[in-house]
Amino acid sequence: MFLLSQILMVIAISLDIVSFQLAKRWQVLLALSASTALTSIHFYLLDVYNAALLMAIASLRYAVFIKYQNKCLLILFLLLIIIPPLNQLAEYYELYAIVGSALLTLGAFFTEQKRLRIVMMFGTLSWLIHNIYVGSPMAIALESGFLLSNIIGFYRLHKVAAIS
């Protein structure tokens, strides 16, 4: 199971790195939906169930937000990522995953690229801290790659915008 979890994370890392190099919002969210689905399975295989639940909700959230931008959906997803995990909170570091998920949910809701990317950077940083506590090298690599790709994509978009 451990080997399978690591293989899934290699694929998820590839999707994350590609995601923030994509120009269209729907493409970014589709890649993130696939990546977080694989990450959810990874955490499940490692018996990190709160993180697996949060990533499964994230995958659904990204898929829904491709087509729908609705404040009721935003509130629903925020409640889904806060209430169930808090009810089964076992370790304080799991709060980093909850905060990270809340920020990533807000970021996915934004249509403006700059706000989306900035909020997602902070959400990713929270998940990175969580993954360090969990001790999953591939999850740490995933969030690190996601953060780096987001920073590069942010720079590229704003460099092009400054030239225009």
pLDDT (0 to 100) of residue 113: 79
User: Cα(57)–Cα(43) distance, rounded to whole angstroms?
Assistant: 13
pLDDT (0 to 100) of residue 101: 94
Spatial CB neighbours of 161, under 8 Å, sequence gap ≥ 6: none
In the predicted model, what is the mean pLDDT of residues 113-127? 91
Alpha-helical segments (H) within 20-89:
25-45, 49-67, 71-87
- Has residue 111 got a pLDDT over 80? no
Contact assessment for residue 51 and residue 43, using Cβ atoms and an 8 Å cutoff: yes
pLDDT (0 to 100) of residue 90: 86
Residue 163 pLDDT grade (very low, low, confident, very high; cuts 50, 70, 90): low
Residue 162 pLDDT grade (very low, low, confident, very high; cuts 50, 70, 90): low
* DSSP element (H, E) containing 92: none
Residue 135 or residue 69, greater confidence:
135
pLDDT (0 to 100) of residue 110: 81
pLDDT tens digits, one per residue of 14-30: 887 788 678 888 898 89
Q: Name the least confident of 42-46, 137-141, 143-147, 159-163.
A: 159-163
pLDDT (0 to 100) of residue 39: 93
User: Cα(95)–Cα(71) distance, rounded to whole angstroms?
Assistant: 24
Distances (CA, A) of 32 to 47, 116, 141: 22, 13, 15
Residue 85 pLDDT grade (very low, low, confident, very high; cuts 50, 70, 90): confident
